[in-house]
Amino acid sequence: MKNFLCLLFSTTLLTCGAWANFLELPDDNQQIAEAALTYVGKSYLAPNETKPIDATAIFNNLAPGLYVSVGTERGFLAASVSEITHLLLLDGNFQVVYFNRLNIALLKMSHSRKDYLRLRLHPAASYWYDSQRLSVLTEAERSLITDPRAIRWWHKFVSSSAWFDFHVSPEKRDPHFQSFVKINYLYSYEQYTKIKQLADDGRIEAQLLDYNDNKARRIIVSAIEESGLRLSALDISNAWRRKYMGHKLDKILEDFYTLPGPEIATGKNTVLITTKSVPEINDSCISGTAWNYRTDDLCAINTMIGVTTFVESLFPEEDKKD
């Protein structure tokens, strides 16, 4: 029996075969792109967990294995500073999935951290459509990147002021506003190298998932189980709220709980990461403030056993490499 640690983290059927690098799922690349490009609803693309440094100790202590996350950068950030071996980005918003797939492709196309910044912060056809860069992509990825609408979408939704805190370089940052300090793979050689290696190896995948869709959720869980991967962490941010997961939180967690956890030899458990408290689990689990990183007692959910662990943040030496 494995334990879940409840971490307070400051934030349709799914398919995708040609895109799925480590999960066996059908291809939905074109459908995701079309839906994202025509989507008119609200999307949460820019990261608003501005101090992930507070969770460095948590990330550093994760067991090797699969990190499952909602959202955009929260998963990339966690993977860049942890020992996880695979990253699965599961979200119910078309634009979030579209961003994640484009970002994976850009990471694969980049030759260095500076080159990745060029591709990401100054998107241009001469960079994105370069034949040598495109040669490292799968057919599905090339189709996504070379669609003329993709670069226009990126300009509109990613090259926007909403991303300022994440995109601004450390030397240009107001010293009074230290967002994403020391944990941003855009400005860290080690963190960029880690996340790029995962992308190059086909160990980052983005899928569409309505967590309330029992059939779709179980297809994903079954695919994970068949892959042989062990679940290191499940990061649902604030998706546990009723307006996102309704009254199915316990069922959703039960499905993921059936997956094998870390190897016993690691002495570690699968970690459940959430934003704020989760009253649907138990009111006594409330602690900390909004968008805080902290480990609290996850009161028993069926067979899950809560473990109380308080983790102090680590502040690694600032990376000096380029």
CATH number at residue 291: 3.40.50.150
At 119, list the tokens.
């591709």
Q: Is 316 left (phi over 0), alpha (psi -120 to 50) or beta?
A: beta
Structural domain includes residue 129: no
Least confident residue range of 67-81, 103-117, 262-276? 262-276
Cα–Cα dist 110/34, whole Å:
25
Q: Which residue has the higher pLDDT, 60 or 126?
A: 126
Query: Residue 276 — pLDDT band, cuts 50, 70, 90?
Result: low
Least confident residue range of 69-78, 227-236, 293-302? 293-302
pLDDT greater than 70 at residue 117: yes
Structural domain includes residue 78: yes
Structural domain includes residue 262: yes
What is residue 6's predicted lDDT score, i.e. its pLDDT?
A: 42
Least confident residue range of 209-218, 237-246, 255-264? 237-246
* Domain count across the chain: 1
The pairing of strands 231-237 and 66-69 is parallel
pLDDT greater than 60 at residue 295: no
Encode pLDDT of 126-169 as tens digits: 999 999 999 999 999 999 999 999 999 999 999 988 898 899 88
Domain membership of residue 241 as a residue range: 4-41+48-104+180-296
Structural domain includes residue 27: yes
What is residue 92's predicted lDDT score, i.e. its pLDDT?
A: 93
Query: Residue 277 — pLDDT band, cuts 50, 70, 90?
Result: low
What is residue 278's predicted lDDT score, i.e. its pLDDT?
A: 53
Structural domain includes residue 235: yes
Encode pLDDT of 7-56 as tens digits: 433 334 333 334 447 998 888 999 999 999 999 888 889 987 777 887 77
**What angle is formed at CA 253 by the lines to CA 252 and CA 258, rounded to 5 degrees?**
105
What is residue 14's predicted lDDT score, i.e. its pLDDT?
A: 38
Structural domain includes residue 169: no
Structural domain includes residue 322: no
What is residue 299's predicted lDDT score, i.e. its pLDDT?
A: 29
Cα–Cα dist 264/17, whole Å:
32
Please give the C-alpha separations between residue 195 and each of 85, 108, 283, in angstroms, as whole numbers.
Answer: 10, 10, 36
Structural domain includes residue 19: yes
